Amino acid sequence: MIERWALVSGLKGDLDTYELIQKDLKKTPGNITLFVLGDMIGPEKNCNRLLHRLINPKSNDLQPWCIYGWWEEQILLESGYRGDQRAEALRINKGEEVVKSLTNAVDKSFLDWIAALQFGFVELDCGLIHGSSKDVGENLTLDTPPLTLLDRLTRLQVNRLFTARSKQQFHLELTEGIVNSEVEDLNGNRKKEQKVPQKAVIGIGAGKNYTLYDVGTDNTQFLQAGYKSEKRIKGFGML
């Protein structure tokens, strides 16, 4: 059976969108694993119903595998789960009202579950993360310098990095190449060649825009919940 990963992020308390995605995936052939790459919460609406559903899936739901994102990090900071730190960056950039809206949007009973979430997953040769391997808040996009992308891949020792922070859908390939270096030892200088395998960074989108990844064929599909049409990308591209 075809193995596929569904990659979702940026729900921000939107249970209706989550149900649409679940409905789509139930019609999708193959053995599907659902990953939710953070930003399940946000300040715009009450997030309790979505969190309850993620923690207690319905009997016919795909089991969601969740990690924390930037908004989860902010509420953990503000609620004292990161020591003496508070969500000062959010407070400075968005204001006190947004901080209050975020804390009011999530019942305190969910905070321990959020605090127990992992930073990311490594599956096969793929890293699944909200921002980057450096920071949960880092935006990786098509404009990010290739050396930076290569560094973020190398930190996790993976060939594919799925990221959600930018909210964009893209598949950027770093083509296979050769790294030349010179090594000096007792016998003098020696040249060394090291083959660098093909690597890719994939932006999975946010909200209704999600990504389906075919593990066997390495194909990426960018989808929108509730729509039959799909866009397939392998290589350079942005939607």
CA–chain centroid gap for 139, Å, is 11
Residue 43 located in a structural domain: yes
Contact 161, 152 (CB under 8 A): yes
Residue 239 located in a structural domain: no
Residue 238 located in a structural domain: no
Domain count, the chain: 1
CATH number at residue 216: 3.60.21.10
pLDDT at 218 (0 to 100): 92
pLDDT at 56 (0 to 100): 98
Give me the DSSP letters along 16-73.
HHHHHHHHHHHTS-SEEEEEEES----SSS--HHHHHHHHS--TTSPPEEEE--HHHH
Question: In sequence order, which residues have a C-beta less than 8 Å from that of residue 173 and are 6 or more positions away?
Answer: 198, 199, 200, 235, 236
Domain limits for position 170: 3-233
Residue 15 located in a structural domain: yes
pLDDT at 228 (0 to 100): 62
pTM above 0.85, yes or no: yes
pLDDT in tens, 25-52: 999 999 999 999 999 999 999 999 999 9
* Closest C-alpha among 176, 50, 168 to residue 113: 50
pLDDT in tens, 114-170: 999 999 999 999 999 999 999 999 999 999 999 999 999 999 999 999 999 999 999
pLDDT at 121 (0 to 100): 97
Average pLDDT over residues 99-121: 98
Average pLDDT over residues 2-8: 95
Residue 110 located in a structural domain: yes
Residue 237: pLDDT band with limits 50, 70, 90: very low
